[in-house]
Each structure stands twice: as structure tokens, then as C-alpha cells.
């Protein structure tokens, strides 16, 4: 009986050490001045919200660079995490109902929740500018603004590489400077993130 109890204690201690090592390896990717690069690809479909344009579909590619602007906050609480500043390039290709393109960049803030071992959920919000060339009758092409809010998460495959998924509510508008009905969309993105330090 003593041998079995000793074996159980040894197994539990080893599991706790492995778990703690995995958690600290993942958490070591987040903090002040810690950087990441990423590429996400996805699909957006417009939402008929408030008389906005509907039935528009587009593909989006977003290369991204991020840097930690805080060390982990929140002690041992469920909301333990850190803030990140992100710079993101944007390429959108409209394929429904017509064909068109848009390109630009945005700046975003993300809060990473660091309570897990391999999975790091986050919330994010950002905005930027686009050169829009969509063939949509109620939305004028040219200079436009983009704003979004969303949720997502990293699933770490190694200490430095993670699969990343996001869902965003994204709004594109020219602020009423020209014909403008606005484009509200549900955007889902998947990609890879590489943590540099």
C-alpha cells in the first residue's frame, strides 16, 4: 500500500511539474516587449444590420506583427493576462456579388488571457484605413475606415508556434464623406502565429 501511495504521489508530482513547465513556456511568450508575427486568412460575409449592405462575400488575408505592452497582470485570477499592440496589413478580395479588392492597414489592442497551459484566449479591438474598390452600388469606392471587435485564441503546437483563430465583427465605412451605406460583416480568420522571444 505504501508503494502504491508513493507511486501515486510521484505520478501526480510529475504531472504537476510537466503542467507547470508547459504553462510557463507558453506564458513566457507574453509580456513587455515580447513579439510575434502571424498570418491569418479567412472569410467574411456581410450582415444585414440596420439597413447595411448584405449578400457580400469576401476573402481576407492579414499579416500581423505584435508586441507586448504590459507584463502579465491579474495575479492568479481567471483574468490573468497581458496587453499587446498589433499592426496588421489587410487585403480583401470581394467575390460576391461582384469582384473587387481593398487594401490597407490597422492598429489594434489585444488582451491575452494567460490562465491556460496550451490555449490562450483573447479579446481584441482595432481600426484602420482602406483603399476600397468593391463593386457595390450603395457604397462608394475610395478611402474608407475600418473598425472591428472580436474574440479568438492561440493553441500552442510548440513553445513558439501556435494555431490562431479569430472571429470579428468588422465595419467598413467612408464616414459619410461620399455615398455610404456601410459594410458590416462577420469575419472568421485562421492562421499561424510565431512568437519571437
The CATH number of residue 144's host domain is 2.40.160.20
Domain count, the chain: 1
Cα-to-chain-centroid distance, residue 99: 26
Note the pLDDT of residue 21. 41
3-state helix, strand, coil in the chain (%, to 5): 15, 55, 30
Asked if the model's pLDDT at residue 7 lies above 60, the reply is no
Decide: 106 and 89 in contact? Cβ < 8 Å: no
Distance CA(106)–CA(126), nearest Å, equals: 7
Element (H, E) at 21: helix 2-27
pLDDT per position as a tens digit, 106-147: 999 999 999 888 999 999 999 999 988 877 665 556 688 999
User: How many CB atoms sit inside 10 A of residue 53's CB?
Assistant: 21
**Domain range for 79:** 2-195
Note the pLDDT of residue 54. 62
pLDDT per position as a tens digit, 146-166: 999 999 999 999 989 999 999
Q: Bridge-partner residues for 108, per DSSP? A: 86, 126
Amino acid at each position: 500500500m505504501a508503494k502504491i501511495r508513493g507511486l501515486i504521489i510521484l505520478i501526480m508530482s510529475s504531472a504537476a511539474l510537466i503542467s507547470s513547465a508547459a504553462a510557463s513556456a507558453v506564458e513566457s511568450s507574453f509580456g513587455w516587449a515580447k513579439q510575434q508575427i502571424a498570418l491569418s486568412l479567412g472569410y467574411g460575409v456581410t450582415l444585414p444590420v440596420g439597413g447595411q449592405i448584405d449578400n457580400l462575400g469576401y476573402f481576407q488575408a492579414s499579416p500581423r506583427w505584435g508586441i507586448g505592452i504590459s507584463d502579465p497582470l491579474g495575479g492568479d485570477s481567471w483574468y490573468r493576462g497581458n496587453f499587446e499592440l498589433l499592426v496588421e496589413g489587410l487585403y480583401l478580395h470581394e467575390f460576391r456579388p461582384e469582384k473587387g479588392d481593398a487594401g490597407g492597414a490597422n492598429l489594434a489592442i489585444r488582451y491575452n488571457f494567460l490562465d491556460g497551459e496550451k490555449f490562450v484566449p483573447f479579446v481584441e479591438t482595432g481600426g484602420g484605413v482602406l483603399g476600397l474598390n468593391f463593386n457595390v452600388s450603395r457604397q462608394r469606392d475610395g478611402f474608407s475606415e475600418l473598425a472591428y471587435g472580436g474574440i479568438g485564441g492561440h493553441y500552442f503546437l510548440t513553445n513558439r508556434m501556435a494555431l490562431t483563430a479569430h472571429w470579428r465583427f468588422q465595419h467598413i465605412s467612408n464616414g459619410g464623406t461620399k455615398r455610404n451605406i456601410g459594410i458590416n460583416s462577420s469575419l472568421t480568420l485562421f492562421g499561424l502565429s510565431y512568437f519571437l522571444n
